[in-house]
Amino acid sequence: MAAERFSGKHATLPILANILLEQEGALLRVTATNLESAIQITVPGAGSQTERLTVPVKIASSLIQSMNDENVELQGKQGNLHIKTSTRESRINGMPADDFPLMPKIKKTSAFSVSAPNIRAGFERVLPACSTSEFRPELGGVYVQVTPHALYFAATDTFRLAEKTILYEKKGVDESFSFILPFRIAQEMGRVLDGDGGVRVTIGDNQALFEMEDVHVLARTIEGAFPEYRAIIPKQFETSCFVKKNELTAGIKASSIFASKLQDVSLSIQDKKIHLNAANQEVGEHKSMLGCSLTGKDVSVSFNYRYLFDGIQLVDEEELFMGFNGENGPCLIRNKEDVSFLYVLMPIRLG
């Protein structure tokens, strides 16, 4: 249940562990919040009553997920929720609906519209590059830059950077603005904004509101300035190559078994071949070789294999591009044809 992931635990507000159920005729609205974010889902059904109550979300979610019946009857009686199917009947004790926090109204400063598949792609492509450190909160989310021509999604943990560009399907906005959405909320966008419909995004007062026909998500944005990251994206390369994604993926997986505590794997690119090498005194050593098309100088460079693997997995074409500028310069990874996504990875300096 999506609402469960937006609920929260609070010592002085135990009702945050509940969901608010509001029936208005044949529609049922489900609301959950942890005060930092909130979700409201509208579910069509059958009925004519008007009812409001709250119940613990974990109990309701576990019970409903255990039911295989297509038809589930929900009924509020004296503040409690009665759930009935053809073979089961349960009662979940509720709490007063008036104690549940209201979903805040956002003070609009800017807004834009985008299709659900595009906004999902934007967040999902860059999420792996988000920082997990608490020392720089502005890196703990996805940076979204809105311009009159395109949307830019970016994330970085200072070791790698991911950027996805989304061109507008229709007319864009008249102004440029940006915001940073927390990692957890950006992750939820891929789960709750399903389907192919449009998404209306409203920004204002350090908040972001995502609205589809049946789903509304409100979240507090991260304060702070995201780094001017475009300066580190290399535009020219001393060495460049094209390589098949599945072959490089298999090579890195094998090499990772022998990686040292630095999680390093070395790439030596020469004679139209990529030589992969990893060594660990306790485990042993592994070498493999795969073909590539090479332009420019030979180069040898070492990477954190987890970060390298993440970047390769985010590419969705059979063949990918890798650009290098020496053993200490940033490496750029992208699709061979579709340049709307890029991944920049800093090498490991050994010795």
Residues 6+ apart with CB under 8 A from 92: 55, 56, 59, 60, 63, 80, 81, 83
Per-residue pLDDT of the chain (351 residues; tens, 9 = 90+): 677 888 877 657 889 999 999 888 888 899 999 989 999 999 887 766 778 899 999 998 888 788 776 677 888 888 888 888 878 888 989 888 888 988 888 888 999 999 999 999 999 999 999 999 888 999 999 999 999 999 999 999 999 999 999 998 777 788 899 999 999 999 998 888 888 899 999 999 899 999 998 999 999 999 999 999 999 999 999 999 999 999 999 999 999 999 988 899 999 999 899 999 999 988 999 999 999 999 999 999 999 999 999 999 999 999 999 999 999 999 999 999 999 999 999 999 865
CB 65 within 8 A of CB 40: no
Pure H helices in 76-224:
116-126, 183-192
**What is the model's pTM?**
0.91
DSSP string, 46-79: ----EEEEEEEHHHHHHHHHT---S--EEEEETT
Distance CA 167, CA 172 (A): 9
Distance CA 202, CA 218 (A): 9
8-state DSSP, 235: S
